[in-house]
């Protein structure tokens, strides 16, 4: 997942996006969610305002489950909504035509932060000494009684 979002001027076909020979497949969200559906053909026209996903053949042809593809689609859709239009990768056939906008930059909102629960710290040495002292005192008290 490279995080790029490209905005094309219509009309555009799948072949214009994937290049020739295509190294990737272009899918709509409906294609990702429909198990066993075929990718879009190179001569198919893309619909304006619709979100499409450019995925390497290796991922599409692998044993990837529909659940994994749905998860990928959710992550990519979220990245597209947060990031807006960004520069196309150098391998994009449309890059030379200038059909791209600003570079994506990481923001504080876009960085990953773990959610951690606090851990109560105790000194291991003190607790051992205290436990051994308590046990020694108990054995002394038991011996005296």
89-140 pLDDT per residue, tens: 444 444 333 333 333 333 344 566 677 778 787 776 655 555 555 555 555 5
What is the tally of structural domains in the chain?
1
**Residue 50 structural domain:** 14-97
- Residue 117 counted as domain residue: no
| Dist CA 8 CA 52 (whole Å) | 11
Nearest residue to 82 via CA among 112, 55, 56, 59: 112
Q: Which one has a higher pLDDT value, 79 or 142?
A: 79
Amino acid 99: pLDDT: 34
- Residue 143 counted as domain residue: no
Q: 69 exposed, middle or buried (CB, 10 Å; 0-12, 13-18, 19+)?
A: buried
| Dist CA 124 CA 2 (whole Å) | 46
Q: Where does the pLDDT of residue 25 fall: very low under 50, low under 70, confident under 90, or very high at 90 and above?
A: confident
Q: Which one has a higher pLDDT value, 17 or 22?
A: 17
- Residue 41 counted as domain residue: yes
- Residue 139 counted as domain residue: no
- Residue 79 counted as domain residue: yes
- Residue 6 counted as domain residue: no
Whether the predicted pLDDT of 11 surpasses 80 = yes
Amino acid 73: pLDDT: 75
Beta-carbon contacts of residue 60 (< 8 Å; ≥ 6 apart): 25, 27, 39
- Residue 86 counted as domain residue: yes
- Residue 109 counted as domain residue: no
């Amino acid at each position: 997942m490279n995080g790029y979002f490209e905005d094309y001027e219509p009309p555009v076909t799948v072949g214009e996006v994937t290049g020739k020979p295509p190294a990737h497949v272009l899918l709509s969200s409906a294609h990702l969610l429909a198990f066993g559906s075929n990718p879009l053909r190179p001569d198919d026209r893309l619909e304006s305002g619709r979100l499409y996903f450019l995925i390497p053949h290796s991922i599409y042809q692998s044993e990837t489950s529909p659940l994994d593809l749905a998860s990928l689609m959710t992550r990519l859709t979220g990245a597209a909504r947060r990031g807006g239009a960004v520069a196309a990768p150098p391998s994009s056939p449309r890059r030379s035509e200038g059909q791209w906008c600003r570079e994506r930059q990481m923001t504080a909102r876009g960085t990953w932060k773990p959610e951690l629960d606090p851990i109560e710290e105790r000194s291991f040495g003190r607790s051992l000494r205290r436990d051994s002292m308590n046990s020694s005192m108990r054995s002394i008290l038991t011996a005296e009684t």
